[in-house]
Amino acid sequence: MSEQFTRREFLQSACITMGALAVSTTGADKAFAATSTSTPNTSGMPSCDVLIIGSGAAGLRAAVAARKKNPNLSVVVVSKVMPTRSATTMAEGGINGVIDFSEGDSFELHAKDTVKGGDFLVDQDTALKFATYAGAAIHELDYLGMPFSRNAKGEVNKRYAGGASKIRCNFASDKTGHILTHTCLDDALKHGVKFLMDHHMLDLSIENGRCEGVVLRNIRTGDIAPVRAKSVVLATGGYTRVFWNRTSTPFIATGDGAAAVLRAGLVFKDPEMLQFHPTGVCHGGTLITEAARGEGGILLNNQGERFMKRYVPNKMELAPRDIVARSIETEIREGRAFGHDMEAYVLLDVTHLGKEKIMRDLPQIRHIGMLFENMDLVEKPIAIRPTAHYSMGGIHVTSIDTMATPAPGLYAAGEAACVSIHGANRLGGNSLCDATVTGKIAGTNAAEYAAKADFGAGKRLNDLTLKWTSHFKEITGSGKGNVNDMYALREELGAANWYNMGIFRTESKLLELADKHAEFQARYNAIRIPNANPVFNTAYTEYVELGNLLLASRAALMGATARKESRGSHYREDYLKRDDANFLDWKDVVVGQFKIEERKY
């Protein structure tokens, strides 16, 4: 069935371009109209039934689910880069999901660990459903062709991941995310999913409370155009780049989805919840995985002291991520580290493990040391510092049953979404299965909705498009601006967020940051890009992304200031305790009106 469909799709020119879309009465649009089940689009704007923004695991699984739910629908995946260049590709460790119950593991235990890990900001029913779907997802991925590492019985192999009470982190060597991405891409191709790559979603249009489509910029040509869709799935990943050079995540993790949602007046939930990993390389924050400490690596300060013995003597370097991260930052703050400012660091030493063991068990980490610190960790300890790793907060979704936002027609999935699975801290291995599981649910429900819905009127969409068209001219067309202005601001924003809203947070620092944000925003608005060429203008892409990072930073700051307690990765030195009475059932940020709202379930 799907085999035949794929062939026909392929003949219809499976990979559409914006140009083809724009000629709405012919070509690709006609192909869409022919397969569409409900009212055709008559506005003259390009359109499709289900539009998915993002091509990480969440976006790709959503696309396949939508096609499976209703093969008559046109499903298009938009990505600002080539489909496989996502954060998903970078994940190494593994993907959680209970498939082996022989050692007493269960969905309930997985859910319980998730709730505990998230410091009880997790919605408990959601966690249980999530754990149940996660188990099924592993078998499904295996069936789709994902080459998991195998145990002696030929079953999917698993390893331990932090915070888990049982071993349930299934893996494919040390590149689980890469393997997952390519499995998902192959499956999407098999199901006739179309791609619009090098297309940047600039904005989302909500009219009369309902989602009617998005504004896309074809990065290749510079064309800015509205695309109408009956339903939209936002799978745009996280916003950890608010810390610019202190994150393990890719350049593209700029919170475009969350920012678009904020601009449209919808809710960005738990924006202050950002996870830190203890060991990123000093220059640029690329991840040195836990394996380095797991295999026996030790942490040293500038006195040559193994400082973890002062913090957690019984566990030392193997203490939980957040504790190790705070210990390192304390050493830095108290002057017992090397370097200074954003380049301050402590040392991670594995030299005592010997060349042979390092080459055999930690080759990837050694390679990273070579690339980023220009040194060989067989011979010397490597400079490391904590690095931002994951966004628990995201676009507010009403329930894991649908992954729908409160705006009809709009869905969110993966790291971009917040359905309160991870709460205040995500467990290792839980985000790949989040993306896989929630992507599928969002896709299925978006297809169901699209089959019944009509296109929106598209008026606001048109207005937004005009706004962005003139924005491009205004920002790039003046011939003014210095080459480094934007990049310097981006570094400053990252550093200011890191110092004032990083691992340690206090009222005074957060207030200071609010002033800085205001200043940054003013500078941002005044920046001009000295490149008027519409063709592949990456500087303009970066400019738009920086605007989104500013918005996400301000939302995170509001959350961090208002949350007067410490919970999970949100650590307030002026409120060291968790405060369930006031903050358990709490609060989302609606930056559209710049106010904090009560959370409702």
Ligand X SMILES: Cc1cc2nc3c(=O)[nH]c(=O)nc-3n(C[C@H](O)[C@H](O)[C@H](O)COP(=O)(O)OP(=O)(O)OC[C@H]3O[C@@H](n4cnc5c(N)ncnc54)[C@H](O)[C@@H]3O)c2cc1C
Binding site for ligand X (CB under 6 A): 53-59, 78-81, 86-88, 90-95, 176-177, 200-201, 235-237, 248-249, 252-253, 256, 287, 390, 414-416, 428-432, 435
- How far, in Å, are 285, 354, 390 from residue 245 at the CA level? 6, 31, 14
Select from other proteins, ligand X, none the partner in contact with residue 235, using the beta carbon and a kind-dependent cut-off of 5 to 8 Å: ligand X
The three-state secondary structure class of 477 is coil
Min separation Cβ 199 and ligand X, Å = 6
Helix axis angle, 538-562 to 256-263, nearest 10°: 70
Nearer to other proteins, 92 or 512 (CB): 92
61 burial via Cβ count (<10 Å: 0-12, 13-18, 19+): buried
- Which of ligand X, other proteins, none does residue 568 bind (CB under 5 to 8 Å by kind)? none
Of these partners, ligand X, other proteins, none, which one is at the site of residue 78 (CB under 5 to 8 Å by kind)?
A: ligand X
Q: Least CB distance from residue 92 to ligand X, whole Å? A: 5
Beta strand ranges found along 441-480 (DSSP E): none
The first and second tokens of residue 387, run together, are 């690095």
Sheet containing 588-590: order of strands:
417-418, 394-396, 268-269, 588-590, 595-597
Q: Least CB distance from residue 196 to other proteins, whole Å?
A: 9
Q: How far is CA 106 from CA 112, 163, 400, 521, in A?
A: 10, 15, 20, 48
Quick one: 176 or 569, whose CB is closer to ligand X?
A: 176
With respect to ligand X, which residue has the nearer C-beta, 373 or 565?
Answer: 373
415 contact choice in other proteins, ligand X, none (CB below 5 to 8 Å, kind-dependent): ligand X
Hey, which residues are catalytic here?
321
Rounded to a whole number of angstroms, the minimum distance from the CB of residue 397 to ligand X is: 13
From ligand X, other proteins, none, which one binds at residue 256 (CB under 5 to 8 Å depending on kind)? ligand X
Rounded least distance, CB 334 to ligand X, Å: 29
Residue 264's binding partner among ligand X, other proteins, none (Cβ under 5 to 8 angstroms by kind) is none
- Identify what 54 binds: ligand X, other proteins, none; CB under 5 to 8 Å per kind: ligand X
Pick one of ligand X, other proteins, none as the site partner of residue 187 (Cβ within 5 to 8 A by kind).
other proteins
Q: Which is nearer to other proteins, 221 or 398 (CB)?
A: 221
For ligand X, give the closer residue by CB, 235 or 493. Answer: 235
Written as six digits, the tokens of 477 are: 């067309």
Nearer to other proteins, 89 or 445 (CB): 89
Q: Are 416 and 394 in contact (CB under 8 A)?
A: yes
Rounded Cα gap, residues 475 and 222, in angstroms: 13
Task: Report the C-alpha gap between 423 and 208 in whole angstroms.
Answer: 31
| 109 vs 562, beta carbon nearer ligand X | 109
Q: Give the Cα separation of 299 and 388 in Å (integer).
A: 19
Cα-based torsion angle of the residue sequence 475, 479, 480, 481 in order, rounded to the nearest 10 degrees: 70
Q: How far is the CB of 246 from ligand X (least distance, A)?
A: 13
**Closest separation between CB of residue 100 and ligand X, Å?**
18
Tokens read off for 180: 């997952």
DSSP string, 299-311: EE-TTS--THHHH
Nearest CB to other proteins, comparing residues 164 and 253: 253
> Which residues neighbour 486 within 8 Å (Cβ) at sequence distance 6 or greater?
527, 529, 539, 542, 543, 546
Shortest distance in whole angstroms from residue 83 CB to ligand X: 7
What span, in angstroms and rounded, lies between the C-alpha atoms of 227 and 161? 42
Could you tell me how many helices (H) and strands (E) the chain has, helices first? 19, 19
Please report, for residues 219, 227, 396, 435, 455, the alpha-carbon distance to residue 200 in angstroms, rounded to integers and kept in the order given. 7, 12, 22, 21, 22
d(C-alpha 203, C-alpha 547), whole Å: 12
